[in-house]
Structures are given as C-alpha cells and as structure tokens.
Chains A and B, each alone.
Chain A
Amino acid sequence: MSQKKEPDGQQESTRLNDFSWLSKRVSDWLSSDPEMAVAMAAVRALTEVIKQSKAETMMGLQIDLNNAVSQLKRSHSSISLVSGCELFTRFVTRISLDIPDFQQCKAVLISRGEQFTKKTVRARQKIWKLSEEFIRDGTKVLTCGFSRVVTGLLLNSLRQNKRFEVFVTESRPECSGYKLMERLVSHNIPVTVIPDSSAAYVMRDVDLVLMGAEAVVENGGVISLVGTFQISIVAKAFNKPVYIAAESFKFTRLFPLNQKDIPNRETSATIDKNLVDPKLEGLYKFSNVALDYTPPQYITLLFTDIAVLTPSAVSDELILSLIH
C-alpha cells in the first residue's frame, strides 16, 4: 500500500489496511445470505467501520467512513451499494449535527445502523403488503429477470390463495430468468419462460408488467436489469401498466438524461461459444452491459415501502429527505 502524508500523524497504511477486510466481509455476507440486499450489506459494513474506528472526533470518523466508502466502491461496482452508502453518510452528517457529544453520537449511529439492517428486511414485507391488491385471480404477470422483491411479491400473493400466471423472460445473457422460474415452479405457480424477443408477442395476453430495480432515480425513472426498458416500451404501446417494485433505500439523486448517462457495469457473460466459430474471435464486438435506464413516462407506479408512488412522487421524497 502506498504511504500518503497524514496530517494527524496516524499511519495511512493502517487506515488503508483497515478497509480491505471490509470488501471481503461484504462479499461474504452477500454470498452467505442470498436474501440480503446489497445496500443493507453496505450499511452493515459502515456500521462495523464506526464500531472499529479509532477516531476521537466526528471529523476523524467521517474521514474513516469516506475511505471505507471509496474502498467499497472500488470492489463492488453496484449502484444500490453506492446509494446505500450515500444514504448512511447523509444520515451520519445529520445526526452529527443534532448530537454534539462524540461518544453519544457514535453510540446512536451504531444502534441506528443495526436497526437499519432490520428495517430493510421489513421493507420488502411492507412492499408486499402495499401491493397486494394489484394481483388478483386470473392475473397474468410479465416479469424480467430475477428480483427478490418481485419474487417475494408473487409468493405473497400465492399465500393469499390467488391464482395467477407468470411469464418470465430469459434475460440473456445472464439468464437470471431461469432462477425465478425455478422458484415459482417449486411453489406450483404456472410459469411460461419466453425469450426476450417474444415480449411483444405475448404482451397482448399479459395483464400487467412487474419488475424490480437496482436504483430509482430522481425523476422517477429506474435503473435496472437490461431488458427492462425494452419491455416497458412494449407495454406502453399496448397500454399495459408497468409496476416497479423497489425499496426506498434504492432512491438516489442521479438524474440520467439518456442510456449513456448511467453508471453501468458489464456482466461476466459472453457470447455462447458453442454457436460461434472460434476462428472469428476478436472480429466482432459483444455488448454485455448489465443495466439500462427506464424513463418515468414508461412507468405507471412504483411499489415502495413508503407507499405506492407515481414516478413524480419520487422526487418529492428525495427533496423531503434533503431538506429534513
């Protein structure tokens, strides 16, 4: 690790070393508990940082947190992680202004951080409760990829003895649709897996489109799995409602103007090697972006743990959280 000049005499190397364990911890948490949201892992990590921080002042603690956040951003490039970190750092700043005593402040931050992780579990359950009425007997739902919120929502409807049918797109190249199909089949829900290109073909028979999101942006649009935007456009052309289920900690202050404006990442998937002549390797390009941006005019409603919101209400919530 490179040594940086440190104003208060503490070794930079100890500080930087402090946080490499953090990324590993986060990865461990995420792999051990598949239900854990990435943002929740981020907040848990930052709470750990506060617990273990040797800083004596608020300023020192915030420096530690900022270093931890940059470390996490480097290792896990996910928007929901970043938004979770931002949420927590904003919360820390606000509490630090309210409570001047450092030790007391630290204690409050630790306890609230731990509460937050519990809240995020409950957030999903709240979403399921708020959106119960949207799925009725005989509803045909179209969904895209694998989202834990959406899966939970569908299973919740099943528990309420509703009979419905689900169309799942494959969501190539990662094919996360198959994961959802397995979950639904194990609960005996009628599932049809469709190739991504058949969304328009089946749209006439579908009653509503339900998808998850990785982040909800300022104008009420969402950043989510690539393919979401495409399905939303088709749904709009057929006048079918598009519902996005997302927890409120996914709200971020990003404001994309077009697809290139989002912090995207690449999936590990590549082209199916069995179908292509290996001699052609390197002569073509393959687009494997993971996320796309769906503008708010294609979204009917957002199911969040705050309430069922219209896209324009998202900015309302974000402004409220900024001012209060």
Chain B
Amino acid sequence: TGINAEYGVCIEKTPMDPKETPPPPALAKKDKKPSLSRQQRIAKALAKKNVGGQNLQPPTTAGSQTQLDDPLKRKKFNKQQILPLQPSVKLLDLFSHLPQYSGSASVGITIQSKQLHPDIVKLGLLYQNRIIQGSHARAAAMLTAFKTMILEYEPSPDKPIAKDWENKFSPVIQYLKDCRALSIGMGNTIKFLKSKIGNITNMNPVEAKKYLLEELDRYFAERITVPDEVIAKHGASKIVDGDTILIYASSHCVEIILRKAYDLGTKFKVVVVDSRPKYEGKAILKRLAQYNIECTYVVITAVSFIMKSVSKVLLGASAMLSNGALVSRSGTAVVAMMAHAHNVPVIVATETYKFTERVQLDSICYNELDDPEELANSPTLAGWKDKPHLKILNLAYDVTPIDYVQMVVTEVGMIPPTSVPVVLREFRAEGMLA
C-alpha cells in the first residue's frame, strides 16, 4: 500500500493489466509549467495533438460529467481532484468515458489542507460506501450537511463575502463529486446554492449566513417537502380499488403515494420487483408490509410473467430529461418496456427539482459505474480479476425512452412526459430555477 504523505490517504495498489493506461498522477506532483494561461496551454496541446473540433469547456459544472477517455480532459480532471482516483481495475473500453467506481477509501482521510467540515467528510464517505442511496436521501443529507457547514463557518472579514463562500464551497463540491458522481437533483440544488451565494455580495456576514440558511430551508420546503405531499395526493388519486400496482426497486415518491392511497382506504395490491446486485426492493417491501399493504415480491427475471396481472406500473426517477426520457435505477427500462408490451400504463412519480435540460438517447453516454465486486459474489466469478479476458460491468442507471412513459406525477400536476421542458421553461421564467 502506498501512503500519500500530504493527505494521509492509504491507496491500495492493485496489480494492473500491463495494457492499461498508467495511473493518473497524484496531486502531490507539482508541475512546473511556463506562465501560459490555461486556455493557451489547452490550445497549444490541441494544436500538437491535431484533435479537431473539440469543445473544451471546463468540466466541473455541477451536473455534467467529464468524458474521461480523452487524455487531455482526464489530466484536467485529475488536477482538480481532492481524493486521488483509485487506479481502475480492468477498464472496459466502451465505458472508459464514465467515472469509475472510486472504491472505499480507507478510514482516516484527513483533508486538512482543504479544510473540509467533518460533516462534509462524513457525507462523502456515506455516499462513497453507498450507505446513503436514492436521490431523495442524498439530496436531503446534502442540504443538512450544507446547513451545518454554513452555520459553523466564519467567513474571513478581509475577503469579499461572496467570493469567500464560493471558495469555501468549491472544494466541498469537488470532494463530494470525487466520492460519488452527483445526481441530477443534487446538481440542481448546488446550482441554486451558487446562484444564492451570488446574491450576498452586499450583505454583512451575519446577514449573509442567515440568508443562505433561509434560502436552503426554502428550497428544501418548496422543491422537495411540499411537492411530496402534492405528489402523494395526485398519485393516490390514480390508484383505484382492485388495482395491482407494480413498483421497481426503492423510490421515496412511490412509497409516499402508496401510503397515501392506503390511508385513503383504497383496496389495492403491490408487486415489488427487485434485482441484483443491490436488492433495494427488500427494504421497501418490508416497510410496505409493515404498513399493512398486500405485497408480492418477484425478481426482475419474472417481470414478464407477473405483468399480465398488473394494472399499473409506478416508477421513481433519478432524473427526467428534456426529451421526456426517464433516468432511473438500472432495470427500470426493462420493467417499463415490458409494461408497454402488455398495455399497462407506466406512471413516473418525481419532484420537479430532478428535471434537467439535458437530453440523452441511450444509457451509455452519461451513467455511473458501480463496484464490480458487487456482481462478483458468486463462486464462478470469484477469481475474475485474474482471468485476462473477463471484465465485469455494473451500471447504476438506465434511460427509459419517452414512448414507454405515459404520465409523470409532479407537484405541478399530472403531466405527459413531453411537458418536462415546458415545466423547466416556466420555472426559469418565474426565476425559480437556479
């Protein structure tokens, strides 16, 4: 194991395939560059490599992902990193542009030089180890940690206050991204926070702190808590007596809809569809059963069998894209397409803070890679790292095209998936969008 002196992090050096690209340089290396501006350096490198027509924008806007197979972008990405990236084991060529699973960094990270709040450090580790999972839980935890951080941080009096807060938040966001790629909802929340930080230029520190805390509270209430109640009401109105509702994995919005429908006295049954490796359906199954809802549990391989007796499919979302496509836990697209083949309506329940202007046509372009070890827990795959031609792919999300989604239940009401960009447009016009 190697110990990076500056950060006190233990990096496990695993044996690598010699054909792999060399591990990214550690942050400790100090590059002595001539005093060209960053843009000039990029232009120079581009001219040398003769790569035409690439759009080199800084990759770290919240919510966008770096295409990591381009060596130039990768170099920039590594420079900005706080946690050194683990060397990727057995990289798949087709998926080399996606951020690799960062692996559990050992206990004892001290990021003193960046002065991260301990709650933030904890949050990053919770994300990285997948202890906090699910877009709602992640967004809520992030907002709580941000509020604690704002409360306890004293901005220095000699710096302009907005710049100070910005500089305070940048390493935090970078660290969280290093631990685990941000979800769309988290990205939108961060954009909102950044725009509010831009508003505090003329305030004194006490006022600024109060303002930021109030704005975060308001965001949480207006975009997450209150919409959840409205979504529960609308969604429950679509569940009638005698319905069999099929749900996949675990979603906060779906759960509140089912609970509300039960509270209203509707007689319905639920089929919980679950899949490897995460088996998130088990937790929601337990909670629904404790709530006295009649449940059936199947694995995703049985979904074609069970779909005949299902009347409605209710899905959660990680994001809704502007082309009406749904980004959700991998396996969702399979369930939605099967429902379509059986003429079962597919309803997606989500708050509008997960809507994004991004458009995606497939599940490969933007995605997240999870720990391949999760899938390798069977005896046949035990020695997969040693076998030269065996690689494991564990994708976290998938994209369901618009044709398979009938309706989206949001706080704005029940809208068709074609209206996602309309909602974004209206919110932007109202100034509600960050």
A219/B407 contact (C-beta < 8 A), A258-B345, A316-B422 known: yes
**A residues less than 8 Å from B412 (CB atoms):** 319, 322
**B residues less than 8 Å from A258 (CB atoms):** 345
The answer to whether A257 and B416 touch across the interface, beta carbons within 8 angstroms, is no
**A residues less than 8 Å from B414 (CB atoms):** 218, 253, 255
**A323 located at the interface, meaning its Cβ lies under 8 Å from any Cβ of chain B in the complex:** yes
Q: How far is the CA of A319 from the CA of B352 in the complex (A)?
A: 13
The answer to whether B238 and A257 touch across the interface, beta carbons within 8 angstroms, is yes
A319/B407 contact (C-beta < 8 A), A218-B414, A255-B414, A312-B416 known: no
**B residues less than 8 Å from A323 (CB atoms):** 426, 430
Q: How far is the CA of A315 from the CA of B420 in the complex (A)?
A: 10
**B residues less than 8 Å from A219 (CB atoms):** 406-407, 415-416, 418
**A280 located at the interface, meaning its Cβ lies under 8 Å from any Cβ of chain B in the complex:** no
Nearest chain A CB to B322 CB, angstrom units: 13
**B419 located at the interface, meaning its Cβ lies under 8 Å from any Cβ of chain A in the complex:** yes
Q: A50-80, CB under 8 A of B: which get 1 and which 0?
A: 0000000000000000000000000000000
The answer to whether A319 and B426 touch across the interface, beta carbons within 8 angstroms, is yes
The answer to whether A316 and B419 touch across the interface, beta carbons within 8 angstroms, is yes
Nearest chain B CB to A266 CB, angstrom units: 20
Number of residues from A at the complex interface, CB < 8 A: 15
The answer to whether B407 and A255 touch across the interface, beta carbons within 8 angstroms, is yes
Q: How far is the CA of A312 from the CA of B419 in the complex (A)?
A: 7
The answer to whether B422 and A319 touch across the interface, beta carbons within 8 angstroms, is yes
**A296 located at the interface, meaning its Cβ lies under 8 Å from any Cβ of chain B in the complex:** yes
A314: nearest chain-B partner, CB-CB: B416
Nearest chain B CB to A94 CB, angstrom units: 16
Q: A235-278, CB under 8 A of B: which get 1 and which 0?
A: 00000000000000000010101100000000000000000000
Scan residues 410-434 of chain B and give those whose CB is less than 8 A from a CB of chain A. 412-416, 418-419, 422-423, 426, 430
**B329 located at the interface, meaning its Cβ lies under 8 Å from any Cβ of chain A in the complex:** no
Q: How far is the CA of A319 from the CA of B415 in the complex (A)?
A: 9
**A320 located at the interface, meaning its Cβ lies under 8 Å from any Cβ of chain B in the complex:** yes
A219: nearest chain-B partner, CB-CB: B416
Nearest chain A CB to B433 CB, angstrom units: 13
Nearest chain B CB to A88 CB, angstrom units: 19
Q: How far is the CA of A220 from the CA of B419 in the complex (A)?
A: 11
Nearest chain A CB to B233 CB, angstrom units: 13
Q: How far is the CA of A253 from the CA of B413 in the complex (A)?
A: 8
**B residues less than 8 Å from A255 (CB atoms):** 238, 407, 414, 416
Partner of B418, one of A253, A315, A320: A315
**B residues less than 8 Å from A322 (CB atoms):** 412-413
Scan residues 292-324 of chain A and give those whose CB is less than 8 A from a CB of chain B. 296, 312, 315-316, 319-320, 322-323
**B269 located at the interface, meaning its Cβ lies under 8 Å from any Cβ of chain A in the complex:** no
A220/B413 contact (C-beta < 8 A), A257-B407, A319-B426 known: no
B421: nearest chain-A partner, CB-CB: A316
Nearest chain B CB to A316 CB, angstrom units: 5
Counting chain B residues whose Cβ lies within 8 A of the other chain, the interface size class is 10 to 19
Q: How far is the CA of A320 from the CA of B415 in the complex (A)?
A: 12
**B residues less than 8 Å from A315 (CB atoms):** 415-416, 418-419, 422
**A residues less than 8 Å from B312 (CB atoms):** 257
**A residues less than 8 Å from B426 (CB atoms):** 319-320, 323
Q: How far is the CA of A319 from the CA of B412 in the complex (A)?
A: 8
The answer to whether A220 and B416 touch across the interface, beta carbons within 8 angstroms, is yes
Nearest chain B CB to A311 CB, angstrom units: 8
The answer to whether A218 and B430 touch across the interface, beta carbons within 8 angstroms, is no
Secondary structure of the B side of the interface? Answer: mixed
Partner of B416, one of A253, A296, A320: A296
Most interface-central of B312, B347, B413 (chain A CB within 10 A): B413
B432: nearest chain-A partner, CB-CB: A323
The answer to whether B418 and A312 touch across the interface, beta carbons within 8 angstroms, is yes
**A residues less than 8 Å from B415 (CB atoms):** 218-219, 315, 319
Nearest chain B CB to A217 CB, angstrom units: 10
Q: How far is the CA of A323 from the CA of B423 in the complex (A)?
A: 10
The answer to whether A257 and B422 touch across the interface, beta carbons within 8 angstroms, is no
**A residues less than 8 Å from B406 (CB atoms):** 219, 257
Q: A215-233, CB under 8 A of B: which get 1 and which 0?
A: 0001110000000000000
**A residues less than 8 Å from B422 (CB atoms):** 315-316, 319
Q: B198-242, CB under 8 A of A: which get 1 and which 0?
A: 000000000000000000000000000000000000000010000
**A residues less than 8 Å from B347 (CB atoms):** 257
Q: How far is the CA of A253 from the CA of B415 in the complex (A)?
A: 9
The answer to whether B416 and A319 touch across the interface, beta carbons within 8 angstroms, is no
Nearest chain A CB to B341 CB, angstrom units: 16
Nearest chain A CB to B51 CB, angstrom units: 39
Scan residues 179-226 of chain A and give those whose CB is less than 8 A from a CB of chain B. 218-220
**A residues less than 8 Å from B419 (CB atoms):** 312, 315-316, 319
B418: nearest chain-A partner, CB-CB: A312
Q: How far is the CA of A54 from the CA of B218 in the complex (A)?
A: 41
Nearest chain B CB to A248 CB, angstrom units: 17
Q: How far is the CA of A123 from the CA of B128 in the complex (A)?
A: 59
A253: nearest chain-B partner, CB-CB: B413
Q: A77-120, CB under 8 A of B: which get 1 and which 0?
A: 00000000000000000000000000000000000000000000
Q: How far is the CA of A7 from the CA of B413 in the complex (A)?
A: 33
**B residues less than 8 Å from A218 (CB atoms):** 413-416
Q: B396-415, CB under 8 A of A: which get 1 and which 0?
A: 00000000001100001111
**A residues less than 8 Å from B238 (CB atoms):** 255, 257
Nearest chain B CB to A14 CB, angstrom units: 34
Nearest chain A CB to B352 CB, angstrom units: 11
Nearest chain B CB to A73 CB, angstrom units: 17
Nearest chain A CB to B373 CB, angstrom units: 41
Nearest chain B CB to A258 CB, angstrom units: 7
A319/B423 contact (C-beta < 8 A), A257-B238, A258-B345 known: yes
Q: B302-342, CB under 8 A of A: which get 1 and which 0?
A: 00000000001000000000000000000000000000000
Most interface-central of A220, A253, A323 (chain B CB within 10 A): A323
The answer to whether B345 and A257 touch across the interface, beta carbons within 8 angstroms, is yes
Nearest chain B CB to A60 CB, angstrom units: 27
A255: nearest chain-B partner, CB-CB: B414
**B residues less than 8 Å from A257 (CB atoms):** 238, 312, 345, 347, 406-407
**A residues less than 8 Å from B407 (CB atoms):** 219, 255, 257
Which chain A residues have a beta carbon within 8 Å of chain B's beta carbons?
218-220, 253, 255, 257-258, 296, 312, 315-316, 319-320, 322-323
CB<8 Å pairs between A and B, sample of 9: A253-B413, A253-B414, A257-B312, A257-B345, A257-B406, A312-B419, A316-B419, A316-B422, A319-B423
In the complex, besides A218-B415, A319-B415, 8 extra interface pairs with C-beta distance below 8 angstroms are A255-B414, A255-B416, A257-B312, A258-B345, A312-B418, A316-B422, A319-B422, A323-B426
**What are the 7 closest A-B residue pairs judged by CB atoms, nearest first?**
A312-B418, A219-B416, A315-B419, A257-B345, A255-B414, A316-B422, A323-B426
